[in-house]
Amino acid sequence: MQKRAINDSFLDENLQDFLRGWDNQYKMGMAEIDLFKEEKTQQWSEEQKKLFVQLLYHQRAHFDDVLWLMGNFAPNAEAKEVILNNIRDELGMNGLSHEKLYLEFARSLGVDLTYELIEEKYYYSFLREYNHGHLRWLRDHDWDHRLAAFTAIERLDNLDYLGLRDVAVSIGAVGKALTFFNVHIHVKHYEAAEKFFIILWKSKSDVVKSVFQFIGSYQLEIWRKISDAVFKGSY
């Protein structure tokens, strides 16, 4: 029994080492993208600021499709509850939904996206492909891969939104307009799925590593594309 405890402790420590390494690798990838360089984004024109707001909307507004797919294919009630809790958090329950928080941010910079989810005026092809690519990948892999991908996506919230808040500040967002970013910086979605994730790591760490590398690379690629589009001033 003692030997098993030591092994479990080693596995948990090994997981934390992997996650720290992955986090650092991802942060270094972000640092290389002009989108996350304050000295450049603070030089944006009003048109570029608005374009960023419009593009970022569709990078994040379709996560409900991922949640719906994950919930439908969840293997048991416990796993479904993790997804349901995430949906409850997205809706805000006793406060504003994440959607409305983003609309407030957009409105503070002169962009009205109230019905953009329906109208899709700014849903450019590269963003549509990014979102559909996530869904196709989830469709084509088993639950273990889906769980690892979902956990990686959720962990990225705490990394991405630190950088995105800096972008928002650099283009003039202040006060309540930053609530959307602050909420995501402190959200605990990764921790909510951690119980299942640790079990997966102990049995299939190779799956976790490969999936996390894919998700990290996939996310950095969309930041590069958004960055290029905004700095060009059009897409």
- Domains in the chain (CATH in brackets) are 44-232 (1.20.910.10)
pLDDT at res. 58: 97
Q: Which residue has the tokens 């956990």?
A: 151
CA gap 185, 181 in Å, rounded: 6
Q: Considering the chain, what percentage of its residues have pLDDT values greater than 90?
A: 77
**Contacts of residue 201, Cβ cutoff 8 Å, sequence gap at least 6:** 11, 15, 208
Position 4 confidence tier, pLDDT thresholds 50, 70, 90: very low
Q: Which two tokens stand for residue 112?
A: 């009205």
**Better-predicted residue by pLDDT, 15 or 140:** 140
pTM, 2 dp: 0.91
**Contacts of residue 49, Cβ cutoff 8 Å, sequence gap at least 6:** 109, 171, 172
Q: Can you tell me the mean pLDDT for 2-15?
A: 54
pLDDT at res. 146: 95
- Structural contact between residues 79 and 196, judged by C-beta atoms closer than 8 angstroms: yes
Mean pLDDT over each residue of the chain, to the nearest integer: 90
